[in-house]
Amino acid sequence: MNATGEWAQTVSYGFSRAPANFSFPAFASLELDTGSNFVPITFKHIRASIFDLTTGRQVGTGDLLHDQIVPPKQFPELMLPLNFTYIATNDTDQTCE
């Protein structure tokens, strides 16, 4: 999901062919099923690592550093901010194709 609000300005956008690289902010929309919970759940820290499926190289990270409380008996959505960043020596790099 495209980044909006403050997060959209936090990570600079960048795309280049030589050297091959990209950088952009985004969000991962996580939907949680708390239907069988009777009390709220508190997440203290959520961390994500994003990898290219073909090459296995890491292309992004994400961190939610503040407490996030999700209610019971619902399908709450949690927005995880992501920073996609990758640098290669040239545009023939398989991850950048």
Query: Does pLDDT of 10 surpass 90?
Result: no
Q: How far apart are CA 48 and CA 17, in angstroms?
A: 27
Start-end of H helices in the chain: 5-10
Phi-psi region of 73 (alpha: psi -120 to 50; beta: other; left: phi over 0): left
Give the model's pLDDT for residue 90.
75
Q: Residue 3's Cα: distance from chain center in Å?
A: 10
Query: Does pLDDT of 6 surpass 70?
Result: no
Average pLDDT value over all residues in the chain: 85
What is the reported pTM?
A: 0.77
Per residue in 22-43, pLDDT (tens digit) is 888 888 999 999 999 999 999 9
